[in-house]
């Protein structure tokens, strides 16, 4: 489509204020290097190249990050290398992310002796350049390098989740330290006239809900955003919050912080029609074009149809911008990116009067969330509820003394496990599934259960010993570095008495096959969080067949984009939606 770029940041601001501009603006905040270069047909090296891309693609702004905390991804070499290629200046490097098990800051001493950067380390030169080179009508959006996310990256996700429950003051001190650094950065950068908005990409949620209890966010995170929001509103600067996942529980808090807009409203986590109904008058919505499927697996016609539908249903009245449900990643075909831009231009002119079904395309249905209500009542003869409460409270002495009492009362140790502890962890799992407890509590309960089993190991494995549940080899597939979910599955399995060998992240199909040959597990469990890496699961299953090993092992697959239909298609034995479901599936498969 022939579109002459005419950037107009006033249009963007109008949409942010939930008004109708002349047309629906484009709202992406991050485009990876590869699609940028494919779109421009040339390398992107300089700041001018960056500006050229955003201008040519038809955005009313360009985005750039600023932060002295950026190296948090690779502190002291404790990193995992990714395959992505991206830097703001176009250098082709592989990305690095901090390990999740243990970061660089795991206790007070490390926190106090860490060489924290100060705002005087901030290099503002690029903002001076943007002040000079931005085309008329165009502004810059500052991507302020997050507050909550660096905290867990500094500590490692597991340590962070655990510390929130065991030494809240330390986790809070780290968030506050980072909050202050980001706030100072915010103050300096927003002095530049080119800055028209500030976007905070701080993932606080995943597909089924918040990662941690909202009380922590309210106490430590949102006060910083409130301070920034007040200043943005005074200066007439846009203020946008980005978090993946289902943020329903804190939408009112976000409004209270002063955010004008919320992004990216992942279709498999939040229903944008409902979000619009509830919060659409106060918050501009940016996003929802499905990265899981349409943008990555669909055709340009599918993208066009989805953009049409979103504009038809969400844009009337104002307060909507079109963008990916995350970002334009390396693996979005450039034809689909162009379709996104063209369709927004084609259908987004106000007043919007689009008819239902006006553009045909394949509509990809996202996997619907599994949310339970209530927990299963279990009559086991032992007090499973009390065991569950003690596990969540991480009160291991209490769990041990309860178990001792039950054994001394005449119940065999393995019976106490099957009628007391396992129902207890099942209750915790169900509370996690219905949103009553969050990842930290689930992790802590699973670990407390493992410790208890270890404590009673001798009695459990003695005469008439505990039935070994089975062995599992687990890993995240090649090209994929997401491991928080896989680690949670591992903990729950261990907590329930499975022996688990964890191969880590970005595990090749060949390595999975070799592990099955060498370790002879009962179950091979593979996790994937990216639509593009899911296919690696099929390669591993094919590899097992070729090596003559497929019959000797059950294969289960999981992770947010994986569906039962996909599992069946690639010849897996099962799929589970979440960690408690994975444990149940493993048990069912071995019965």
The site for ligand B1M (CB under 6 A) is made up of 32, 82, 84, 97, 100, 203, 206-207, 244-245, 264, 266, 269, 291-292, 325-327, 329, 439, 479-486, 488-489, 525-527, 529-531, 556-561, 576, 578-579, 582
Between CA 590 and CA 573 the distance in angstroms is 11
Name which of 560, 484, 474 is nearest 97 in CA terms. Answer: 484
Q: Which residue's CB is nearer to ligand B1M, number 427 or number 526?
A: 526
Question: What is the nearest approach in angstroms of ligand B1M to the Cβ of residue 559?
Answer: 4
**Tokens at residue 211, please?**
């990662």
Strand order in the sheet with 284-286: 61-66, 139-144, 195-201, 238-242, 261-263, 284-286, 320-321
Instruction: Give min distance, CB of 258 to ligand B1M, in A.
Output: 23
Q: How far is the CB of 19 from ligand B1M (least distance, A)?
A: 27
HSE-CB of 215 using CA atoms within 13 angstroms: 6
Structure tokens at 348: 């987004």
With CA atoms as reference, report the closest residue to 407 among 391, 394, 421. 421
Name residue 557's beta-bridge partners.
526, 575
Contacts of 162 (CB under 8 A, 6+ apart): 440, 443, 444
Cβ proximity to ligand B1M, 142 vs 583, nearer residue = 583
Nearest distance from C-beta of residue 510 to ligand B1M, angstroms: 19
- How many beta carbons lie within 10 A of that of residue 66, not counting itself? 24
Whichever of 321 and 525 has its CB closer to ligand B1M, that residue is: 525
Nearer to ligand B1M, 14 or 550 (CB): 550
Q: 324 by DSSP, 3-state: which?
A: strand
Q: Which is nearer to ligand B1M, 232 or 556 (CB)?
A: 556
**Phi, psi angles (nearest 5°) of residue 350:** -80, 150
Q: Which two tokens stand for residue 530?
A: 């990216």
Minimum distance of ligand B1M from residue 335's CB (angstroms): 18
Question: Who's near 377: CB < 8 A, 6+ residues apart?
Answer: none
How many Cα neighbours within 13 Å face the side chain of 558?
A: 25
Q: What is the three-class DSSP state of 437?
A: coil
Give the CA count within 13 Å in the CB-facing half-sphere of 584.
Answer: 13
For tokens 């001792």, the residue is 404
Compare residues 424 and 500 and give the one whose CB is closer to ligand B1M: 500
250 or 460, CB closer to ligand B1M? 250
Query: For ligand B1M, which is the closer residue by CB, 319 or 561?
Result: 561
Nearest partner of 325 among 352, 287, 294, judged by Cα: 287
Is the Cβ of residue 456 or residue 512 nearer to ligand B1M in the bound state?
A: 512
C-alpha 185/C-alpha 204 separation (Å) is 21
CB of 367 to ligand B1M, least distance (A): 10
Torsion, Cα 193 197 201 207, to 10 degrees, reads: -170
- Measured from the CB of residue 383, what is the shortest distance to ligand B1M in angstroms? 26
Unique residue bearing structure tokens 């929130």: 164
Q: What is the dihedral of CA 142, 145, 149, 155, to 10 degrees?
A: -170
Q: Is residue 92 left, alpha or beta, with left meaning phi > 0 and alpha meaning psi from -120 to 50?
A: beta
Residue pair 359/304 in contact (Cβ under 8 Å)? The answer is yes
Contact of 186 with 228, CB cutoff 8 Å: yes
**Which residue lies nearer to ligand B1M by CB, 424 or 488?**
488
Helices (H), 348-465: 384-392, 396-408, 413-416, 422-433, 439-455, 457-461
Distances (CA, A) of 128 to 47, 67, 131, 145, 189: 11, 15, 5, 19, 10
- Residue 348 phi/psi, 5-degree rounding, is -90, 10
User: Least separation, in Å, of the C-beta of 588 and ligand B1M?
Assistant: 13
- The sign of the dihedral angle between the CA atoms of 87, 93, 98, 99 is positive
Considering the complex, state which of residue 417 and residue 583 has its C-beta at the smaller distance from ligand B1M: 583
- 165 or 480, CB closer to ligand B1M? 480
Tell me if 307 sits within 8 A of 407, measured CB to CB. Answer: no
* Least gap, CB of 351 to ligand B1M (angstroms): 31
Whose Cβ is closer to ligand B1M: residue 79's or residue 380's? 79
**Which is closer to ligand B1M, CB of 11 or CB of 146?**
146
Q: How far is the CB of 460 from ligand B1M (least distance, A)?
A: 26
What's the closest the beta carbon of residue 526 comes to ligand B1M, in angstroms?
6
Least spacing, CB of residue 456 vs ligand B1M, in Å: 26
CB of 298 to ligand B1M, least distance (A): 13
């Amino acid at each position: 489509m022939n579109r002459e770029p005419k950037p107009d940041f006033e249009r963007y601001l109008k949409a942010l204020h939930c008004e109708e501009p002349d047309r629906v603006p484009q709202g992406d905040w991050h485009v990876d290097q590869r699609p940028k270069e494919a779109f421009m047909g040339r390398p992107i090296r300089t700041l001018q190249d960056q500006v050229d891309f955003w201008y040519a693609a038809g955005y009313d702004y360009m985005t750039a990050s600023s932060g002295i905390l950026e190296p948090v991804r690779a502190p002291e070499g404790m990193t995992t290398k990714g395959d992505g290629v991206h830097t703001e200046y176009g250098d082709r490097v592989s990305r690095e992310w901090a390990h999740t098990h243990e970061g660089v800051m795991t206790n007070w001493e490390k926190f106090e002796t860490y060489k924290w950067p100060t705002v005087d380390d901030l290099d503002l030169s690029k903002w001076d350049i943007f002040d000079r080179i931005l085309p008329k009508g165009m502004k810059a959006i500052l991507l302020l390098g997050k507050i909550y996310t660096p905290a867990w990256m500094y500590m490692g996700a597991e340590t962070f989740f655990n510390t929130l429950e065991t030494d809240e003051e330390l986790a809070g001190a780290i968030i506050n330290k980072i909050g202050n650094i980001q706030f100072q950065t915010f103050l300096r950068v927003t002095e530049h006239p080119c800055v028209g908005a500030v976007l905070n990409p701080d993932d606080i949620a995943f597909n089924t809900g918040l990662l941690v209890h909202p009380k922590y966010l309210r106490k430590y995170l949102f006060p910083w955003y409130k301070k920034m929001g007040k200043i943005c509103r005074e200066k007439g600067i846009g203020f946008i919050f980005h978090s993946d996942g289902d943020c329903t529980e804190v939408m009112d808090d976000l409004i209270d912080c002063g955010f004008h807009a919320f992004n990216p409203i992942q279709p498999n986590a939040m229903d944008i029609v409902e979000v619009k109904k509830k919060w659409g008058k106060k918050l501009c919505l940016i996003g929802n074009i499905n990265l899981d499927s349409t943008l990555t697996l669909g055709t340009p016609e599918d993208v066009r149809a989805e953009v049409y539908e979103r504009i038809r249903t969400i844009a009337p009245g104002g307060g909507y911008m079109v963008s990916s449900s995350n970002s334009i990643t390396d693996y979005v075909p450039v034809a689909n990116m162009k379709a996104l831009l063209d369709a927004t231009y084609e259908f987004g002119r106000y007043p919007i009067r689009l008819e239902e079904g006006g553009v045909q395309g394949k509509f990809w249905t996202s996997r619907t969330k599994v949310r339970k209500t209530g927990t299963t009542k279990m009559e086991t003869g032992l007090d499973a509820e009390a065991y569950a409460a003690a596990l969540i409270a991480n009160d291991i002495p209490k769990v041990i003394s309860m178990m001792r009492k039950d054994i001394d009362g005449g119940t065999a140790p393995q019976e106490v496990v099957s009628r007391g502890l396992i129902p207890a962890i099942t209750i915790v799992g169900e509370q996690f599934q219905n949103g009553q407890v969050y990842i930290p509590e689930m992790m802590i309960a699973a670990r407390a259960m493992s410790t208890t089993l270890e404590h009673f190991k001798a009695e459990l494995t003695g005469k008439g010993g505990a039935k070994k549940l089975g062995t599992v080899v687990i890993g995240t597939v090649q090209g994929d570095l997401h491991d928080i979910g896989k680690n949670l599955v591992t903990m729950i399995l261990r907590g329930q008495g499975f022996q688990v060998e964890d191969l880590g992240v970005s595990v090749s199909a060949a390595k999975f096959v070799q592990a099955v040959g060498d370790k002879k597990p009962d179950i091979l469990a593979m996790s994937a969080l990216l639509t593009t890496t899911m296919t690696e699961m099929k390669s591993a299953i094919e590899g097992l067949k070729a090596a003559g090993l497929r019959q000797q092992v059950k294969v289960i697959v999981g992770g947010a984009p994986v569906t039962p239909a996909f599992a069946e298609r690639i010849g897996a034995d099962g799929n589970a939606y979440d960690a408690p479901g994975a444990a149940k599936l493993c048990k069912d498969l071995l019965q």
